[in-house]
Chains A and B, each alone.
Chain A
């Protein structure tokens, strides 16, 4: 059945993209946008639809006709009138994000339809959909979440001889399924809230989090940084995180498992090569990143699942090993509560989990050990609705690695979506808490938002192949907090120091792009979108505050931090949740503070250390 998107959406797309009916690709964008909205949480969906309705109403008021009924010139006139109100710019930018996603997908036909080589078979996993899992069952250990932490915990416990069940809210996606489908089609399935998880605050942040067997490791960039020594020393000495002792060996083990190696230059892509060139010109330390993607083909689709199976996400590396040791994975299983026995001698003790299936029915698994690895944004609400959220610091201490993205326009094609998605690390400012990483993305999926609306935006889209995008993330103060029991509500207010760091990062990336030969730098700031010279960029940024930046965040950590001080840390130095026995925290939430680099290795090593210590003590 063919379904027509509502008129306001069609009009919105036509106005934003200056669709004059000449381009075939633009015709399908409204339908693509409609599908995309369907995967988003209701508030985000309502906001976009509402914005479309409001803009449509404005068009009616101004011209007497709806956007979809207007001619290209009249639509351009309406949009120009909107853009002239500077206060509306951030609002228009927010509407642009889903629209660009849909447009990007339609404009560049995805290359997966006829893959150069067939997708390899994935190592076998023992996955059972929750609908086929018995309503009552038992296990020696239940691991909630199959991401970086959960997978490592499951492997360690299964290898110790425990009967392990891993519960995953998302579904299992094979490499073949990634190769078969367009990036945007995968996007909605692989991300929680359709990738539109928002942290409210100043400025609001988008925090995309993966939801699938493999967790966020399915959709991360594959960048593997070891936890820096100064961070480890702080965890060990200041926070008393006992698992941090011997962390080097755990990191080695994780690196071996994920087959981490420096990214070879052959498939690095134009984006990375430009970053290297710019850094060399400036004399900054830069190198291809260490990644867990041996044989990477440079598909630039890490964020929607690697279509060639090169990226060793945990569902291709750790979870098959866990399953070989006897672990079983239940998919489409949302854990409602951790069950507790409050009358056990010595105090409350975890007894198992209550799981909701997609059809609303419930199943229970009894287990004396529950490992919570639901991610830093889901672990606190889960503990709260289980009656285990009594610690006053649970949900606080949230660090997110706020990140910005800046693009440079070059005279020759860069085609940033061919090559490695996150390819080069520039560590010149690492000690100042700023890590610059050359990061491209499939069209429309970059956290960089093209400037302008209407014809201007259309021009930018047409010339997108000449853009290189470079991102930077900063080591932030724990300025966030995760509220909520049933739904997660994230509050994050950028600390003044971190705001300064972001602005400094913005200037540094600008300098890097100009050094690489960029003709123009696109800042991503709606009020000050472009600079053609370094001096102009400096001048432009002098008037910009962090509140105007388009900030994303990718690495939430620390919301159930482990540490020696019972008043400050919801988990004890060994990762046991305080206040109940039999609950281990083994995900990003257990990290005592911001890891300052991409956290996959840190989370996996922490999960390994915590569960290994548990096994050693139990035996």
Chain B
């Protein structure tokens, strides 16, 4: 089902008393609110605000922005926080309607607020929703369009429900465009099959453009559920923030999602964990800013491109390959080719899950298409070996060929332990090369697009 959001417009009129003045001034707000979910009164809905703030004789900012917390029943509060410009100063209006069942009308229409500048109070006042002139435009402005960007935060939350024999991963790969270096942060929770306590571990690695790979492991630490993401012993992978230290590394990064979520496996397999494992990206692309310090240097990142991904399942595959390629211009290629550990499935050739996010669309349209084709016919094929592995396939009138090269000196091999205790080795490279060619059938196969990534592809190959 398409997830829907809510859009509506609201106008409020009132007065403001600025601290430096001895009289009130009229204030008018014309706001447009956008929420990523349908507005229902019994729950708390957050919305983004844009609009115009006018203070008679002092301010008229048509580009005010802010946020709205709508919770008339649960929290009995509708809170507005709007930042706008007054004569070059950035002011924040913070106020809320306090919904009372005894005075439903007054409490839903009166908004007392305070104005702040850098946290200091610079004014206050009260706004009112003009029922007579405002109610009809307000009600008719409601729309419920498909949600533009679902909350990435929700997909960062821990999935593990306490069952033994599960593994959960938060991993982030990014490329510092200034130096060509790659950074890999891997956070993992393993709940052993034997029912012993879950533990958290992981590693951090820097892949300098030319130099040798440096890395450090952290953990294992006993795992205590962190509702928002991964948090253990000061190492955190939470919505919008990645911090931690593991000698000689330390990092503090902010993450700015840039794009919709991308399910490399079928979306249902993330919601209902029936497959051996499922992987997805809360945001297909993200930008990273902050600092990564390591043994021989320091990276200062400012909007470095990359992505964070999530894995939840029973353990590692028998054999697998993964690619995340930022093709530029907002286009992303994400591939996983894997052979399952499950009996029966382990005899099949690698299942290929390929998602090409291009010009706002994702190809192949069905996730399952690349993996199983039409009952096996027309499925995509993978040839997994090192230092070079390939994936190719055709869906509809397009076909793709991907060749990934992971030079040994730019690859880091690390051992993993599955929940059942079995071991796997993964060879990771943040500075892999990739060649992608896309062709389209138009009487014959004609080249549609080609990308050549030199040292900026993120890839790994795992085996037993």
A interface SS class: strand
Of A136, A343, A364, the residue contacting B74 (CB under 8 A) is A343
A134→B124 contact, CB < 8 A: yes
A364→B96 contact, CB < 8 A: yes
Of B75, B77, B126, B227, the residue contacting A135 (CB under 8 A) is B126
Q: Does A345 contact B (CB under 8 A)?
A: yes
Q: Does B113 contact A (CB under 8 A)?
A: yes
A343→B227 contact, CB < 8 A: no
Q: Does B114 contact A (CB under 8 A)?
A: yes
B112→A342 contact, CB < 8 A: no
Quick one: CB contact mask for A484-524 with B, threshold 8 Å, 1 for yes?
A: 00000000000000000000000000000000000000000
- In whole Å, how far is A152's beta carbon from the nearest beta carbon of chain B? 26
A342→B74 contact, CB < 8 A: yes
**Further contacts, 8 of them, CB under 8 A, given A134-B121, A134-B124, A136-B95:** A135-B124, A135-B126, A137-B121, A138-B94, A341-B44, A343-B71, A343-B74, A354-B98
Of A137, A342, A345, A364, the residue contacting B227 (CB under 8 A) is A345
CB within 8 Å of A: which B291-318 residues: none
Q: Chain B residues with Cβ under 8 A from A134's Cβ?
A: 112, 114, 121, 124
CB within 8 Å of A: which B91-134 residues: 94-96, 98, 112-114, 121, 124, 126
Interchain CA distance A289-B95 in the complex, whole Å:
51
Q: Does B43 contact A (CB under 8 A)?
A: yes
- In whole Å, how far is A215's beta carbon from the nearest beta carbon of chain B? 27
Quick one: CB contact mask for B72-87 with A, threshold 8 Å, 1 for yes?
A: 0011110100000000
Q: Chain B residues with Cβ under 8 A from A136's Cβ?
A: 94-96, 112-114, 124
Of B43, B98, B112, B124, the residue contacting A343 (CB under 8 A) is B43
Minimum CB distance partner of B80 in chain A: A136
Q: Chain B residues with Cβ under 8 A from A343's Cβ?
A: 43-44, 71, 74-75
B75→A342 contact, CB < 8 A: yes
Interchain CA distance A137-B112 in the complex, whole Å:
10
Minimum CB distance partner of B114 in chain A: A134
The 8 sampled A-B contact pairs (Cβ below 8 Å) are A136-B112, A136-B113, A137-B121, A138-B94, A341-B71, A343-B44, A364-B98, A366-B96
Of B75, B96, B114, B126, the residue contacting A341 (CB under 8 A) is B75
B75→A351 contact, CB < 8 A: yes
Q: Does A392 contact B (CB under 8 A)?
A: no
Interchain CA distance A351-B114 in the complex, whole Å:
18
Q: Chain A residues with Cβ under 8 A from B79's Cβ?
A: 366
Q: Does A283 contact B (CB under 8 A)?
A: no
Quick one: CB contact mask for A128-171 with B, threshold 8 Å, 1 for yes?
A: 00000011111000000000000000000000000000000000
Interchain CA distance A290-B374 in the complex, whole Å:
89
- In whole Å, how far is B404's beta carbon from the nearest beta carbon of chain A? 40
Closest 8 CB pairs of A and B: A135-B112, A343-B74, A134-B114, A134-B124, A136-B95, A341-B75, A136-B112, A136-B114
Q: Chain A residues with Cβ under 8 A from B113's Cβ?
A: 136
Q: Chain A residues with Cβ under 8 A from B98's Cβ?
A: 354, 362, 364
- In whole Å, how far is A545's beta carbon from the nearest beta carbon of chain B? 49
CB within 8 Å of A: which B35-50 residues: 43-44
Q: Chain B residues with Cβ under 8 A from A137's Cβ?
A: 114, 121
Q: Chain A residues with Cβ under 8 A from B74's Cβ?
A: 341-343
- In whole Å, how far is A344's beta carbon from the nearest beta carbon of chain B? 9
Q: Does A21 contact B (CB under 8 A)?
A: no
Minimum CB distance partner of B75 in chain A: A341
- In whole Å, how far is B108's beta carbon from the nearest beta carbon of chain A? 15
Interchain CA distance A153-B323 in the complex, whole Å:
54
Q: Chain B residues with Cβ under 8 A from A364's Cβ?
A: 96, 98
Q: Chain A residues with Cβ under 8 A from B126's Cβ?
A: 135
Interchain CA distance A138-B120 in the complex, whole Å:
11
Which residues of A come within 8 Å of B, CB atoms? 134-138, 339, 341-343, 345-346, 351, 354, 362, 364, 366
Q: Chain B residues with Cβ under 8 A from A354's Cβ?
A: 98
CB within 8 Å of A: which B194-243 residues: 227
Minimum CB distance partner of A362 in chain B: B98
- In whole Å, how far is A617's beta carbon from the nearest beta carbon of chain B? 13
Q: Chain A residues with Cβ under 8 A from B124's Cβ?
A: 134-136
- In whole Å, how far is A587's beta carbon from the nearest beta carbon of chain B? 27
Interchain CA distance A343-B74 in the complex, whole Å:
6
Q: Chain A residues with Cβ under 8 A from B75's Cβ?
A: 339, 341-343, 351
Q: Chain A residues with Cβ under 8 A from B76's Cβ?
A: 339
Q: Chain A residues with Cβ under 8 A from B114's Cβ?
A: 134-137
Interchain CA distance A137-B95 in the complex, whole Å:
8
Minimum CB distance partner of B44 in chain A: A343
Interchain CA distance A135-B110 in the complex, whole Å:
12
Q: Chain A residues with Cβ under 8 A from B121's Cβ?
A: 134, 137
Interchain CA distance A135-B113 in the complex, whole Å:
7
Interchain CA distance A366-B76 in the complex, whole Å:
13
- In whole Å, how far is B256's beta carbon from the nearest beta carbon of chain A? 23
Q: Chain B residues with Cβ under 8 A from A135's Cβ?
A: 112, 114, 124, 126
CB within 8 Å of A: which B320-370 residues: none
Q: Chain A residues with Cβ under 8 A from B95's Cβ?
A: 136
Interchain CA distance A339-B76 in the complex, whole Å:
9
- In whole Å, how far is A398's beta carbon from the nearest beta carbon of chain B? 32
Q: Chain A residues with Cβ under 8 A from B112's Cβ?
A: 134-136
- In whole Å, how far is B153's beta carbon from the nearest beta carbon of chain A? 11
Most chain B beta carbons < 10 A, residue from A134, A341, A362: A134
- In whole Å, how far is B100's beta carbon from the nearest beta carbon of chain A? 10
Minimum CB distance partner of A352 in chain B: B77
- In whole Å, how far is B26's beta carbon from the nearest beta carbon of chain A? 19
Interchain CA distance A30-B113 in the complex, whole Å:
49
CB within 8 Å of A: which B125-171 residues: 126
Q: Chain B residues with Cβ under 8 A from A342's Cβ?
A: 74-75
- In whole Å, how far is B98's beta carbon from the nearest beta carbon of chain A? 6
Interchain CA distance A343-B75 in the complex, whole Å:
8
Quick one: CB contact mask for B422-441 with A, threshold 8 Å, 1 for yes?
A: 00000000000000000000
Q: Chain A residues with Cβ under 8 A from B96's Cβ?
A: 136, 364, 366
Interchain CA distance A345-B74 in the complex, whole Å:
13
Most chain B beta carbons < 10 A, residue from A135, A343, A364, A366: A135
Minimum CB distance partner of B76 in chain A: A339
Interchain CA distance A254-B43 in the complex, whole Å:
45
- In whole Å, how far is A326's beta carbon from the nearest beta carbon of chain B? 11
Interchain CA distance A341-B72 in the complex, whole Å:
11
Q: Chain A residues with Cβ under 8 A from B94's Cβ?
A: 136, 138
- In whole Å, how far is B125's beta carbon from the nearest beta carbon of chain A? 9
- In whole Å, how far is B331's beta carbon from the nearest beta carbon of chain A? 35
Q: Chain B residues with Cβ under 8 A from A366's Cβ?
A: 79, 96
- In whole Å, how far is A219's beta carbon from the nearest beta carbon of chain B? 33
CB within 8 Å of A: which B11-58 residues: 43-44
Q: Chain A residues with Cβ under 8 A from B71's Cβ?
A: 341, 343
Minimum CB distance partner of A361 in chain B: B112
Q: Chain A residues with Cβ under 8 A from B43's Cβ?
A: 343
Interchain CA distance A608-B171 in the complex, whole Å:
41
Interchain CA distance A136-B95 in the complex, whole Å:
6
B44→A346 contact, CB < 8 A: no
- In whole Å, how far is A365's beta carbon from the nearest beta carbon of chain B? 11
Interchain CA distance A346-B76 in the complex, whole Å:
19
Interchain CA distance A144-B112 in the complex, whole Å:
22
Interchain CA distance A138-B116 in the complex, whole Å:
11
Minimum CB distance partner of B69 in chain A: A341
Minimum CB distance partner of B119 in chain A: A163
Interchain CA distance A354-B100 in the complex, whole Å:
12
Interchain CA distance A137-B98 in the complex, whole Å:
13
- In whole Å, how far is B124's beta carbon from the nearest beta carbon of chain A? 5
Interchain CA distance A568-B190 in the complex, whole Å:
38
- In whole Å, how far is B24's beta carbon from the nearest beta carbon of chain A? 14
Interchain CA distance A134-B114 in the complex, whole Å:
7
Minimum CB distance partner of A341 in chain B: B75
Interchain CA distance A495-B94 in the complex, whole Å:
53
- In whole Å, how far is A334's beta carbon from the nearest beta carbon of chain B? 17
Q: Chain A residues with Cβ under 8 A from B227's Cβ?
A: 345-346
- In whole Å, how far is A142's beta carbon from the nearest beta carbon of chain B? 16
Interchain CA distance A386-B442 in the complex, whole Å:
71
- In whole Å, how far is A366's beta carbon from the nearest beta carbon of chain B? 8
